[in-house]
Amino acid sequence: MDSIKSYTIIVDSIKTDSIKRDSIRVDSFKTIVAQQGDGIYKILRENGYPAKDYYNKFLELNRAKIKEYDNLILGETYLLPILEIKTEPNPNIYSKDSIKRNPDLMYADTVYDDQLKGAIIYLISGHGGPDPGAVAIVDGNTLCEDEYAYDICLRIAMCVEEHGGKAYMIINDPNDGLRDDKYLKVDYDEYCWPDLEIPRDQNLRLKQRADAVNDIYEKNDSVKYQRVIEIHLDSRLSSSTVDVFFYYFPGSKKGKLTAETIQNVFVEKYAKYQPNRRYTGTVGERSLLVMKKVLPPEVFMELGNIQNENDRKRVLDPENRLAIAKWITEGLINDYAKEE
Ligand SMILES: [Zn+2]
């Protein structure tokens, strides 16, 4: 983390003392001007960086010039991180080639801090297997809710583990790793933890994933902080744009608190990045089968409806999917701190 500190110092010196650029060796940083359609991933990739590894460094370096959902400002100049020599890959890291169904699998390749150390987070992406969830056709591409929910869950798993927590992907797809595509390819080979085929029947399907959570929970019942996060993109109000909604099981105090704490992060982020836009997402009760059956408290999140053009913008961009994952993780960190 020392290297990040030194970046910050240099960035500050540029702001206050731009004339003396040469004397503070800013030339060791390459800069780039954001063009139409540029995002952090795109810039990093086009400049030869392993984008996932350098994303956070890019954010740290350019913090003041980053907008909501980690968007860039058109025409603004950004510093590129110094490219370090790549270390050997960790064989336990989840990747596109990874077909190993391993409980010790790590989704993050680096642990930055221990803010979630001792916490277990179960991630249920809505639908999967034979059930694609809500479907939309955009520019000739078939988009399915389950693929986007899965990608966001995978990003949450990564973020949770970057902060020292343990993440379990209850719905898994061995050949879909992190995908930075706008249009995620549809497939039907997701399975339920540990290696169960997902049934067509809705009740069986929901019961199966709740049982999967409870099986893991029972082996870890001494762990105090455990939460289930379920992600959907088929909000019932598909005709109008909707904000992110949070639900907990009626009467669940912990579920309510966790939902409110995550929602607070969304309220803060909207106030910070889009002060003129009123955030109207709410926290409410909902009696749903999975939430009813799982032993740890659950927060069920509707991130909008994939069939709505405006809602869709929130998830088609991979950088937005990562931003959402980070906000949810930030909420979990705040919630965990309250419990301790
Ligand atoms: Zn759904």
Report pLDDT digits (tens) over 54-71: 888 898 889 889 888 788
**Domain ranges, residue 227:** 120-339
Report the separation in Å between the CA atom of 48 and the middle of ligand 1, taken as the mean of its atom positions: 37
The DSSP secondary-structure symbol of 207 reads: H
Distance 127 CA to ligand 1 centre (A): 6
The CA radius of gyration of the chain, in Å to the nearest whole number, is: 20
Residue 69 lies in a domain: yes
Using an 8 Å Cβ cutoff, are 212 and 193 in contact? yes
Residues 277 and 157 placed together within one structural domain of the fold: yes
pLDDT tens for each residue of 26-35: 446 788 999 8
Q: What is the per-residue pLDDT across 83-131, written as a single tens digit (0 to 9) for each?
A: 775 444 444 444 433 433 455 668 888 899 999 999 999 999 999 999 9
Distance (Å, rounded) from C-alpha 306 to C-alpha 316?
9
User: How far from chain centre, in Å, is Cα 199?
Assistant: 27
Is 316 among the domain residues?
A: yes
CA–centroid distance, 252 to ligand 1, in Å, is 22
Structural domains of the chain, count: 2
Cis peptide before 194 (omega within 30 of 0): yes
Boundary of a domain, candidates 79, 101, 129? 79
Tell me, in angstroms, the distance from the centre of ligand 1 to residue 332's CA: 22
State the distance from the centre of ligand 1 to the C-alpha of 244, rounded, in angstroms. 13
The Å distance, Cα 200 to ligand 1 centre, comes to 15
Residue 269 Cα, ligand 1 centroid: separation in angstroms? 25
CA of 133 to the centre of ligand 1 (A): 5
Domain end position, chosen among 27, 57, 79? 79
At 299, list the tokens.
């927060």
Mean pLDDT of the region 271-294: 88
- Residues 75, 129: one domain? no
- 212 and 324 fall within a common domain: yes
Whether 198 and 324 share a structural domain: yes
pLDDT score for 328? 98
Whether residue 334 sits in one domain with residue 219: yes
Task: Kindly state whether residues 132 and 257 are assigned to the same domain.
Answer: yes
Ligand 1 center from residue 303 Cα (angstroms): 10
Task: Find the 159 Cα to ligand 1 centroid distance in Å.
Answer: 22
Please tell me the distance from the alpha carbon of residue 306 to that of residue 184, in angstroms, as a whole number.
Answer: 12
Q: What is the CATH number of the domain that holds 156?
A: 3.40.630.40
- How many CA within 13 A on the CB side of residue 64? 8
| Sheet strand arrangement including 298-302 | 166-169, 120-125, 226-232, 298-302, 245-248, 283-285
314 C-alpha to center of ligand 1: Å? 16
Q: Is residue 245 part of a domain?
A: yes
User: Does residue 272 or residue 170 have the better pLDDT?
Assistant: 170
Taking the CA of residue 74 as centre, how many other CA atoms within 13 Å lie in the half-sphere pointing to its CB? 3
Q: How far is CA 205 from the centre of its chain?
A: 24
Same structural domain for residues 174 and 315? yes
Cα gap 4→294, rounded to integer Å = 41
How many angstroms is it from 128 CA to the middle of ligand 1?
Answer: 10
My answer on whether 74 and 159 are in the same domain is no
Sequence-distant (6+) residues with CB within 8 A of 21 are 14, 27
Residues 8 and 140 in one domain: no
Predicted confidence at residue 23, as pLDDT, reads: 36
Q: How far apart are CA 235 and CA 245, in angstroms?
A: 8
Does residue 103 lie within any of the structural domains?
no
- Are 310 and 138 within 8 A, CB to CB? no
Q: What is the pLDDT of residue 125?
A: 97
Q: How many CA atoms lie within 13 A of 168 on its CB side?
A: 21
Assigned domain for 296 exists = yes
How far CA 185 is from CA of 45, 133, 148, 177, 196, in Å, comes to 21, 14, 10, 12, 22
User: Is the predicted pLDDT of residue 279 greater than 50, yes or no?
Assistant: yes
Domain co-membership, 224 together with 278: yes
Decide which of 48, 79, 110 is a domain's last residue.
79
- The reply to whether 133 and 201 lie within a common domain is yes
* Among 190, 152, 143, 201, CA closest to 320: 152
Cα distances (Å, whole numbers) of residue 326 to 27, 263, 290: 32, 13, 24
pLDDT band at residue 1 using 50, 70 and 90 as cut-offs: very low
Q: What is the pLDDT of residues 244-265, one digit of tens each?
A: 899 999 999 999 999 999 999 9
Other beta carbons within 10 Å of 176: 17
Hey, what are 5's tokens? 């500190």
Judge whether 332 lies within some domain: yes
Statement to judge: residues 60 and 174 lie in one domain = no
**Tokens linked to 50:** 């392993």
Cα of 162 vs centre of ligand 1, distance in Å, is: 27
Q: What is the pTM of this model?
A: 0.71
Q: Residue 230 Cα, ligand 1 centroid: separation in angstroms?
A: 9
